[in-house]
């Protein structure tokens, strides 16, 4: 699927909206394919040290080998990190802190979409823990070495699915398996029903985390840590394939004709990670209807910035993984 999509915007972004990364250490979750793989490739080409945070699998081993082949001079380090296990996330952060006293960029990229209503071993919805709670925990655990960077960046990944109903605390609690069920085939194929509501909550939570974090950094007068956001539009990646295999969507739907290549889908997080002009709160992604196009600097939706969304996200994440001291 992805190979049929022509890449249009990547070269422009790399030429005009990136920088040399030779002195920088960049940690990225979910680099076995899609946007994370593209970002890891391009950061390495710019000279950065890239920490690849993935759960142990044949895919992660193969992805590392492929990255090393694509960028022979690249500096890659694989670190085991299963976002469906809080213990694994804590161990991954400890491993990073043992080896590095400074982290320049943390990209909370990994995600799952429209999966069945199942609980992780920790008891949380599989989508919420993977997409939100574990990234909040990882950021919390790594914040001490992010603060050591002259200009650190924390990059979160949302999507067009952020648009919709406000956040609800129940999705952040250990209610996995009891959050609406799996929906009908008709609902799933039309991107509606409980699977997609749970996914929406995670993508709005990523949005709310970005701006809740920005607010707290400003309150503490911390100016060397930037909180940034990106969205990929509709990109043809394994995200859809995984959802299709779980019964969440039809990967061959006409809707997918609007999809961008993984490379163009990654341009938003590439800008957030490497754009020299980035400021805290900047949000990069396709404008207009948002499905495809150049990663513009976007104005975050005012209604999504409502204080209740920011509060519910922060409260819900802290209930799950503990207090995040800024």
Residues with a catalytic annotation lie at 199, 203
- Would the CA dihedral through 55, 58, 59, 60 be positive or negative? positive
Q: Where are the beta strands (DSSP E) in the chain?
A: 25-29, 49-54, 75-80, 105-108, 152-157, 225-230, 283-286, 295-297
Helix axes 267-274, 34-45, angle to 10 degrees: 40
Indicate the Cα dihedral angle 34, 45, 82, 138, nearest 10°: -110
What proportions of the chain, in percent to the nearest 5, are helix, strand and coil? 45, 15, 40
Alpha carbon 205 to its chain centroid, in Å, reads: 11
CA-closest candidate to residue 55, choices 88, 90, 33, 28 = 88
Tokens of 108: 């909370």
Tokens of 227: 């909180």
Bridging pattern class, strands 283-286 and 225-230: parallel
How far, in Å, CA of 320 to CA of 7, rounded? 39
How far, in Å, CA of 58 to CA of 35, rounded? 19
Sequence-ordered list of residues with C-beta below 8 angstroms from that of 145, at least 6 positions apart, any chain? 96, 97, 100, 101, 102, 103
Which residues are 27's β-sheet partners? 51, 106
Which residues are 286's β-sheet partners? 295
Contact 199, 249 (CB under 8 A): no
């Amino acid at each position: 699927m992805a190979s049929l999509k022509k890449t249009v915007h990547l070269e422009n972004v790399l030429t005009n909206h990136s920088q040399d990364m030779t002195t920088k250490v960049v940690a990225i979750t979910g680099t076995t394919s899609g946007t994370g793989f593209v970002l890891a490739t391009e950061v390495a080409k710019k000279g950065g040290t890239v920490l690849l945070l993935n759960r142990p699998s044949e895919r992660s081993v193969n992805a590392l080998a492929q990255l090393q082949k694509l960028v022979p001079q690249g500096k890659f380090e694989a670190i085991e990190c299963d976002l469906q296990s809080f213990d694994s996330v804590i161990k991954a952060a400890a491993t990073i802190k043992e080896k590095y006293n400074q982290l320049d960029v943390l990209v909370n990229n990994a995600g799952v979409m429209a999966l069945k209503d199942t609980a992780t071993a920790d008891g949380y919805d599989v989508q919420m823990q993977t997409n939100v709670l574990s990234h909040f925990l990882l950021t919390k655990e790594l914040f001490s070495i992010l603060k050591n960077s002259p200009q650190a960046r924390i990059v979160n990944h949302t999507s067009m699915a952020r648009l919709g109903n406000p956040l609800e605390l129940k999705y952040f609690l250990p209610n996995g398996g009891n959050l609406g069920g799996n929906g009908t085939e008709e609902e799933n194929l039309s991107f509606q029903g409980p699977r997609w509501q749970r996914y929406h909550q995670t993508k709005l939570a990523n949005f709310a985390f970005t701006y809740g974090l920005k607010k707290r950094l400003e309150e503490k007068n911390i100016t060397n840590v930037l909180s940034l956001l990106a969205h990929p539009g509709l990109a043809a990646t394994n995200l859809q394939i995984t959802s299709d295999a779980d019964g969440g969507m039809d990967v061959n739907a006409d809707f997918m004709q609007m999809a961008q290549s993984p490379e163009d889908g990654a341009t938003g997080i590439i800008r957030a990670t490497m754009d020299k002009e980035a400021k805290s709160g900047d949000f990069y992604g396709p404008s207009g209807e948002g499905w495809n196009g150049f990663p513009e600097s976007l104005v975050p939706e005012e209604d999504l910035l409502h204080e209740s969304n920011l509060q519910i996200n922060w409260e819900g994440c802290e209930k799950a993984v503990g207090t995040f001291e800024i």
